[in-house]
Amino acid sequence: MPKSGPVAPVSGHGWDLFGAELDVRPLKYQEISDRLRRGILAGVWPVGTRLPTEKELVQTTSFSLNTVRRAVDVLVDEGLVERRQGAGTFVIMQRFPTPQGRPRIGVMVPSTTAYFPTVLQGVDLAARSAGASIELESSRYDARREGACIRKLVEAGVEGLLLTPSLAELDDSIERVQQLLDLPVPVVLMERSLPQDHPADRTEYVRTDYVGGGYDAVHHLHALGHRRIMLLLRAVSEPGDGVCAGYLRAIQDLGLPVLPVHQADKGAWERTRAEEMLDRCREAGATAAFVFGDREAALLTDAALRRGMYVPEDLALVSYDNETASTAKIPLSAIDPPKHRLGRMAAQILMQRIAEGESSPVHQLRLRPRLVVRDSCGVQLGEAMSLR
């Protein structure tokens, strides 16, 4: 975290859901306690859940252990959390009730600890600007939980829903979308939609242009002189499918050799899977790889270093997400989805739909991610652009 300038969100822990830039910068420990408090009050850490450990907070904030410990002490004194010997720090106080008469929108995301916290910051900013509040549920990437989460939000009396449902994993995504459209309140999807240009898609959505992100990553690596570029993916997902489509289109447009696309069977990679993927790269003679996402790219970097390889000299890397790319052992170039703006725009569209009803046009927006260039490519962005 930077030590000066505007407060930067810390990825991976759902901080700053209610954060705005302050005219007077608080003390370091107050920054941390304020962000943890906001996350608790927003429901990111419900009652009974454990906060990140002090060691984890030191790693993600770059502040000292004493500063982190003092921040947690503040929350203990306020009665929000309690320390349990040998177990960690746990939330014990319910979030504040919503003021009467304040409009509410329901939000369901797959996770509140990775990727989506920054989206939620944008949602909250737009909601507060409109005088609304949010009710938050997490499906935990479990399609079976989604119905219960949505039902809970509707029964709570929300006036509209922002949803990130499972679609790519379903046999009939069209039927699922129709079920969402039949809900008694307006719905706007975030980071999800039916396949591009599907004529049956009448949903409102704001999503990242995954295809464009995959396309741009390949073009960047090609501009650096790479011709054998491999794509490595996590388990099946809508973002991964889009990234793959963009990768293949770029390979075709540039006339590059088509290398096998490797995808994990399920879940995230572990150390052994990273080593397997490195073997696939070497077998294909790849000099560069586009990896979905940051954690997997960092594991691949570690596997390469254990083999005596150099990044980027022997294998240049671009990751997708830009959540933890800057903190990797070798900072990763990354495709950076506009997460905050996506959440803000989705909430604004939903508020417009609530206010205008059927007279509001149906918004279907794709936001192009940007490329952030770091050490894993071996060249700065200005130099890369000069090679085009």
Residue 373 in this model has a pLDDT that exceeds 80: yes
Q: Does residue 323 share a domain with residue 227?
A: yes
Domain count of the fold of the chain: 3
* Within-domain flag for 23: no
pTM for this model (two decimals): 0.71
Residue 24 in this model has a pLDDT that exceeds 60: no
Q: Does residue 286 share a domain with residue 198?
A: no
Residue 343 in this model has a pLDDT that exceeds 80: yes
> In whole angstroms, what is the distance from residue 30 CA to residue 70 CA?
9
Residue 367 in this model has a pLDDT that exceeds 80: yes
Residue 385 in this model has a pLDDT that exceeds 70: no
82 or 40, greater pLDDT: 82
The phi-psi region of residue 321 (left if phi > 0; otherwise alpha if psi is between -120 and 50; otherwise beta) is left
Local confidence band at 253 (pLDDT 50, 70, 90 cut-offs): very high
Region 120-134: mean pLDDT is: 89
Residue with tokens 């949010």: 134
Q: Does residue 184 share a domain with residue 270?
A: no
CB count within 10 Å of CB 268 equals: 13
Within 8 A by CB and 6+ apart from 364, the residues are: 193, 201, 203, 204, 205
96 or 85, greater pLDDT: 85
CB count within 10 Å of CB 11 equals: 22
Contact between 15 and 117 under an 8 Å Cβ cutoff? The reply is yes
Residue 163 in this model has a pLDDT that exceeds 50: yes
199 or 388, greater pLDDT: 199
Percent helix, strand, coil in the chain, to 5, is: 40, 15, 45
Q: Does residue 241 share a domain with residue 127?
A: no
SS (H, E, C) 324-348: CHHHCCCCCEEEECCHHHHHHHHHH
Residue 12 in this model has a pLDDT that exceeds 50: no
Domain limit, last residue, from 91, 117, 143 = 91
Residue 261: give its domain's CATH number.
3.40.50.2300
Q: Which domain holds residue 117?
A: 104-209+339-369
* Within-domain flag for 34: yes
Q: What pLDDT shows up at residue 45?
A: 78
Local confidence band at 196 (pLDDT 50, 70, 90 cut-offs): low
> In whole angstroms, what is the distance from residue 35 CA to residue 39 CA?
6
Q: Does residue 375 share a domain with residue 237?
A: yes
At 249, list the tokens.
Answer: 């289109």
Residue 353 in this model has a pLDDT that exceeds 80: yes
Q: What pLDDT shows up at residue 92?
A: 80
Residue 178 in this model has a pLDDT that exceeds 50: yes
At 330, list the tokens.
Answer: 């070798």
Q: What pLDDT shows up at residue 42?
A: 60
The b/e string for 41-59 (b: 16+ C-beta within 10 A; e otherwise) is bbbbbeeeeebbebeebbe
Most confident of 1-15, 78-92, 162-176: 78-92
Residue 59 in this model has a pLDDT that exceeds 70: yes
* Within-domain flag for 98: no
Q: Does residue 33 share a domain with residue 75?
A: yes
Q: Does residue 127 share a domain with residue 40?
A: no
Respond yes or no on whether the N-terminal peptide bond of residue 312 is cis (omega within 30° of 0).
Answer: yes
Q: Does residue 148 share a domain with residue 192?
A: yes
Instruction: Tell which residue, 177, 207, 216, has the closest CA to residue 194.
Output: 177
% pLDDT > 70, the chain: 84
Residue 269 in this model has a pLDDT that exceeds 70: yes
Local confidence band at 383 (pLDDT 50, 70, 90 cut-offs): very low
Q: What digits encode the pLDDT tens for the residues 294-328?
A: 999 999 999 999 999 999 999 999 999 998 999 99
Q: Does residue 205 share a domain with residue 72?
A: no
> In whole angstroms, what is the distance from residue 119 CA to residue 148 CA?
22
* Within-domain flag for 96: no
Q: What digits encode the pLDDT tens for the residues 210-245?
A: 999 999 999 999 999 999 999 999 877 788 889 999
Q: Does residue 218 share a domain with residue 205?
A: no
225 or 59, greater pLDDT: 225
Q: Does residue 382 share a domain with residue 263?
A: yes
* Within-domain flag for 18: no
Q: Does residue 321 share a domain with residue 227?
A: yes
| Amino acid of residue 8 | A
Distance of CA 350 to the CA centre of its chain: 20
Region 234-262: mean pLDDT is: 92
Across 125-139, 201-215, 326-340, least confident range: 125-139
Region 119-143: mean pLDDT is: 89
